[in-house]
Amino acid sequence: MNCKTCFLNFFLFLMWGFVAEAQNNVSGKVVDAVHGVPVRGASIMLHNGQGTVTDHLGRFVLTSSYAGDTIFISRVGYRELQLILDDRLNFINIQLTPAIVQLSEVIVAGSNLDRKLVDEPGAVAIISPKDLRRDNDLAITPGLNRIPGVYMHSGALNTNRITIRGIGSRSLFSTNKIKAYINDIPLTTGDGETTIEDIDLQLIDRVEVIKGPNSSIFGAGLGGTINLATTAARYRNTSAEVGFSAGSYGLNRYTAKMLHGDDNKNLALIYNKTRQDGYRENNEYDRESITLLAKIFTNEGNSLHIFGNFIALKAFIPSSLDSATFTANPRAAAFTWQQAMGFEDYNKSNLGISYHMAINERWRNETSLFTNFRNAFERRPFNILTESTQALGARTKTTFNHKPGNRPVQWVLGAEYFIDWYDWQTLENNNNLTGSVLSNNSETRFYFNVFSQLDYEVFDNTSISLGLNFNRTHYELTDLFADDNINQSGEYRFETILSPRLAVLHKLRENRSVYFNVSHGFSPPTLAETLTPDGLINPDIKPESGYNFELGSRGTMMGDRLSYDVSLYTMKIRNLLVARRVGDDQFIGINAGKTTHDGMELQLKYALIDQPFHHLDGFVNMSVTDYRFDDFVDGESDFSGNELTGNPDNIVNFGLDYEMNGGVYVHINSQYVDRTPVNDANTIYASSYFLTNAKAGYRRPIQSRWALDIYAGVNNIFDEKYASMILVNAGSFGGNAPRYFYPGLPANFFGGIFLSYDLGNY
């Protein structure tokens, strides 16, 4: 061997050592930035074409990478991400941001499976960030009302009622029989009441609505489930945003955000304040809230999620109007509420901590602990109500993934338990001053839920989903008021309820599917509905329950320019709960019969113009329903065969969305709502109405770091007079006409500006 050969070998040895030293095997995990769930099947590519994909836990390993190299992360349904490898990190936690994409590509995280909506064997609807903000950014009401099968009554910003497929329509002043979660933390109280209208839209990135008892893992509620997912910072980015908006009737709204995301954490601090004088008398509204969101990632890809939210609200109550006043003077408040200057005033907080852990290659667990409190004071014409609620609970779910015979199977087992303590007093209203105690009660409400779900691909393109839900609920009432010498204390325990579910889905092609499911659901009565006219617990009250049968299809056609979602369903409900009014502020619950809920729901969206410089989409959403009492006898009245009270037969939404590459955007939406029966006898109806809203704006970056969004709009362009909420079966006392109607807003205007500053990527 000559010297030249020796020198060459020595040089190659040194170069090999240098390369070996420079090589840096990097592993990591890819998660959904909003939901925090693992993203499987994401492509991880180097600039030289070498790469890999994430497994079902979202994990990956790059066997040959170099510090300083750029890697590209992509997955259908998410925005593509580029990042530079850091030689100080051997494990990276990558957070992908969901993209606004075609229906077939939307990722559904609320089902506990990282799968496309086209693969979901049930009635699930998505409200994207774009859909949430296509209105005046004040309330979630317009977004929910564009979903077929969902109808949100809105008597005021603080008075709302959500119904899904007719369930919940008989609740009087709030949402019942529909569950809601935010980041897997329950928002629903122990007796089934849900309030989502005071969760500010600036917190929310996306909403998933499960219609009917189509999910075992969220309690098999008869009406369905609303899952709210909070906003998140972009990966390896820090930004700040401030906003101001104003509108008719003294509307002023301020928001501020601070967002930060890096390899170890994702943080958001959000503040907002909303104030409005109101359209009606005694209608002022003032709400202030602050929220902290945090995700902290470990080197093993596990994560700790924190949600903390505080709300302070004071809102005056104009209440409902009789027919004559509604027609002649809709701006008036109900006379007694105006005289009392009635209002509600409360402080409220929600706190949740959850830990997401990959146990091994096949098992993962998510466990949450949560608590909340609410202290409230409400001045009413007939008395004054003080309330204090505290709740404590936990939720856990364990997921097993396997692929026997190359066919994926997933099994979920979990439980949810919470207890809340509700203390309430009524006091005399002496000329709007607090008087003597009229009642003093303490309620303890227990809720325990065990759920399981199995998803398995039995044949090519055909999968089944089997679910089972086990529920135990009971209430305890303690009467602390001794002056009347009547002890109303008691206990109510529901029988154990088992709710099964079976769903089958077949893929017609990659972007099109058809499904069938049958599922059981239930809705327990509130403790108030179990009370007799004497205030004693009635042990004979039963939960509403029933089966849902559904056939549906969703997907895209015409080169993905047309997306569709259609479903046909029937629900058979028994032990219908009826709130019978027996006094000015006294309602009792009775099981009065059976109902049938038949319906058809359709969503269509078509890209009318799909060009590089501008884009125009058109959409049509509609519900065609026939909800009726099969067997309904209330006292001496037989309402069998009548239409179900509080539900319009037909609702149609249609509109246009236009965007230019230069930043201009325009949203136009019209909604038709059919006439609505307001009493069980079907002798009185709220008239049908047609609303048109429009919003136009300009959104684009300014210089390198600043971005501007300025907009203006008008709601109810044609000044339609309509009832935005009805009080079903309103009573009549003292010779006064029953007050059924909450007036909707006439033509009203709004505008706003948002300014954001990007502190930079790193």
pLDDT at site 247: 96
Tokens of 71: 């890697």
Cα–Cα dist 753/274, whole Å: 15
Question: Among 101-110, 131-140, 256-265, where is mean pLDDT lowest?
Answer: 101-110
Q: Is the pLDDT of residue 19 over 80?
A: no
pLDDT at site 38: 82
pLDDT in tens, 298-328: 877 789 999 999 999 999 999 999 999 999 9
Quickly state the pLDDT bin for 20 (edges 50, 70, 90).
Answer: very low
Q: Is the pLDDT of residue 411 over 80?
A: yes
Helix, strand or coil, per DSSP, at residue 119: helix
Report the CATH number that the domain containing residue 565 is assigned in CATH: 2.40.170.20
* Within a domain: 171: no
Closest CA to 333 of 347, 349, 316, 312: 316
pLDDT at site 305: 93
Residue range 250-263: mean pLDDT, rounded? 94
Q: Is the pLDDT of residue 345 over 80?
A: yes
Residue range 636-661: mean pLDDT, rounded? 92
pLDDT at site 112: 56
pLDDT at site 516: 97
pLDDT at site 252: 96
Quickly state the pLDDT bin for 100 (edges 50, 70, 90).
Answer: low
Domain boundary among 67, 96, 125: 96
655-668 burial string, b = 16+ CB within 10 Å, else e? bebbbeeeeebbbb
Q: Is the pLDDT of residue 90 over 50?
A: yes
* Within a domain: 561: yes
pLDDT at site 437: 92
Q: Is the pLDDT of residue 214 over 90?
A: no
Residue range 286-309: mean pLDDT, rounded? 92
Answer whether 622's CB lies under 8 Å from 649's CB.
no
- β-bridge pairing 586-591 and 544-557: unpaired
Quickly state the pLDDT bin for 18 (edges 50, 70, 90).
Answer: very low
Q: Is the pLDDT of residue 733 over 80?
A: no
Give the N- to C-terminal CA distance of the chain in Å, as an integer: 51
Cα–Cα dist 391/420, whole Å: 4
pLDDT at site 2: 57
Number of domains in the chain: 2
* Within a domain: 616: yes
Quickly state the pLDDT bin for 12 (edges 50, 70, 90).
Answer: very low
pLDDT in tens, 433-488: 898 999 899 999 998 999 999 999 999 899 999 999 999 888 898 989 877 777 87
Taking CA 227 as the corner, what is the angle to CA 221 and CA 230, rounded to the nearest 5 degrees? 160
Q: Is the pLDDT of residue 752 over 90?
A: yes
Q: Is the pLDDT of residue 3 over 70?
A: no
R_g of the chain, CA atoms, integer Å: 28
pLDDT at site 306: 95
Question: Among 90-99, 180-189, 532-541, where is mean pLDDT lowest?
Answer: 532-541
Q: Is the pLDDT of residue 41 over 80?
A: yes
Residue range 365-390: mean pLDDT, rounded? 94
* Within a domain: 132: no
Domain boundary among 73, 96, 119: 96
- β-bridge pairing 363-379 and 384-402: antiparallel
Report the CATH number that the domain containing residue 71 is assigned in CATH: 2.60.40.1120
Q: Phi-psi category of 663—alpha, beta or left, where left has phi over 0 and alpha has psi -120 to 50?
A: left
pLDDT at site 401: 87
Q: Is the pLDDT of residue 108 over 60?
A: yes
More confident residue, 515 or 730: 515
Residues ≥6 apart with Cβ < 8 Å to 535:
479, 486, 488
Q: Is the pLDDT of residue 751 over 80?
A: yes
* Within a domain: 440: yes
Burial of 539 (C-beta count, 10 Å sphere; 0-12/13-18/19+) = exposed
* Within a domain: 65: yes
- 448 and 591 inside one domain: yes
* Within a domain: 102: no
Taking CA 371 as the corner, what is the angle to CA 370 and CA 374, rounded to the nearest 5 degrees? 150
What pTM did the predictor assign?
0.90
pLDDT in tens, 496-538: 889 999 999 999 988 899 999 999 988 887 777 776 655 666 7
Residues ≥6 apart with Cβ < 8 Å to 508:
461, 514, 555
Cα–Cα dist 468/451, whole Å: 6
* Within a domain: 622: yes
pLDDT at site 13: 46
pLDDT in tens, 545-598: 899 999 999 999 998 899 999 999 999 998 877 666 555 555 566 777 889 999
Tokens of 564: 């569709």
Domain boundary among 96, 113, 131: 96
Average pLDDT of the chain is 87
Residue range 613-632: mean pLDDT, rounded? 93
Closest CA to 291 of 187, 179, 201, 180: 201
Question: Can you give the residue range of the structural domain that contains 91?
Answer: 24-96
Check residue 362 and report its DSSP letter.
S
DSSP labels, 703-716: TTTEEEEEEEEEES
Q: Dihedrals φ, ψ of 192, to 5°?
A: 95, 10
Closest CA to 207 of 80, 311, 108, 116: 108
